[in-house]
Structure 1
């Protein structure tokens, strides 16, 4: 019997609207992607985010949370880090994370490989690379509508959707880079900064 899918770690994004992006592996029970809109019970993260900026890396290492528990209203305790937990991240204390909305959740995409990203956001737009199979890379970048300082009006959320980048290999060499533009069906998007890039967690073949 396979283990119940559970969170491995979280990448925290945003200030006014906070998102938690699951940091997956290809090994059960962590082999799924998820984007959650969340709230935190302390101002520690907000204060640090405002100080270090939009593209700074903040992660959280939650106590075990099962996939079936990723429903609005669910909470979990987590250790908050400036940087990547388990590596060179600086501990910032404990925080309670409350899930407000499950924005996107699902297993790695099936073949064939095409370079795709999940677009989501409110005050700020984000693109999270869609995984397929090992070896692969996990990447999250910030973005904005081309020619605009802000992605959306305050309070207006962009529904999560998949954006395909044609003519690019779905590997590390083909990933989106700051300054590039792409079309998402609703216009041009400009990539601003790379917040997270990981390959080591995504080399293992689950078989």
Structure 2
């Protein structure tokens, strides 16, 4: 998995990143909804599907203008019962945006923008600060025997998203806490049960991490989705 991400960045550095799918057809411009979360830094998670042009699992760090950032943080503070926030960006070709980031416009929603979410800001300027994780989903992927999560964040906030493999699968975003210093994303393994989300109840769990056991405090579930990844 890491080799895939490193190869992706090598292609970007060489300026030859391909926007082609395995079958050679270029992605079409589309609206790529993303979950957003975090207060110290703002992270975005592309909401994937197993069909083009949404077949990418991506974690980004975003930058809003200061007024929008404060508005987003304040709304989270005022509505703690809402764990999920999303953005509805303008249409673009996703791999092109990742390979050559440029500012884009987006609306911010409390809740899911396609499922009754409440718009709290519109036409705000968004900039990609960092591409933390990138993976092209492939029907040829071999389903792993473990339940793996992508761990990322900073010294103030940490998050984990389920590493998607092959349909049927699930999406899960968790706010967590570990004693790890994170300079880049890491992978940890929850258990041997495939397609089993981590239950969040304020507990501490033990996971396999870099060949050792790591204690993870489960703080909050931010997103859980099965339907979009059924097939």
Pick the TM interval, shorter chain.
0.7 to 0.9
**Given that residues 139 and 196 in structure 1 are in contact (C-alpha distance below 8 angstroms), is that contact kept between their aligned partners in structure 2?**
yes
**Given that residues 108 and 130 in structure 1 are in contact (C-alpha distance below 8 angstroms), is that contact kept between their aligned partners in structure 2?**
no
Q: CA deviation at 1:108?
A: 3.1
Once the two structures are superposed, residues 30-76 of structure 1 have per-residue CA deviations (whole angstroms, 9 ceiling, x without a partner) of 10100001111223212212323497211001112321222585211
Change (3 A) 1:198 1:99: same
How many residues of Structure 1 are paired with residues of Structure 2 in the alignment?
A: 193
Change (3 A) 1:7 1:20: farther
Q: Please tell me whether residue 28 in structure 1 is matched to residue 60 in structure 2.
A: no
Change (3 A) 1:73 1:4: closer
Change (3 A) 1:158 1:188: farther
Hey, what does 1:68 align to over in structure 2? 96
What are the ranges of 5 or more consecutive residues in structure 2 without an aligned counterpart?
1-23
Counting helix residues as a fraction of each chain, which structure ranks higher? 2
| Of 65, 78, 97, the match for 2:126 | 97
Hey, what does 2:79 align to over in structure 1? 52
Hey, what does 2:25 align to over in structure 1? 2
Moved more, 8-17 or 181-190: 181-190
Q: CA deviation at 1:180?
A: 4.4
Partner SS, residue 185 of structure 2:
strand
Normalising by structure 1, what TM-score?
0.83
Partner SS, residue 68 of structure 1:
helix
Q: Distance in 2 between matches of 1:126 and 1:54?
A: 18
Normalising by structure 2, what TM-score?
0.75
| Of 171, 175, 182, the match for 2:197 | 175
Rg (Cα) greater in structure: 2
Higher RCO structure (Cα 8 Å, ≥6 apart): 1
Change (3 A) 1:11 1:124: same
Moved more, 124-133 or 38-47: 38-47
* Residues 128-167 of structure 1 aligned to structure 2 (within 5 Å): 128-145=161-178, 157-167=182-192
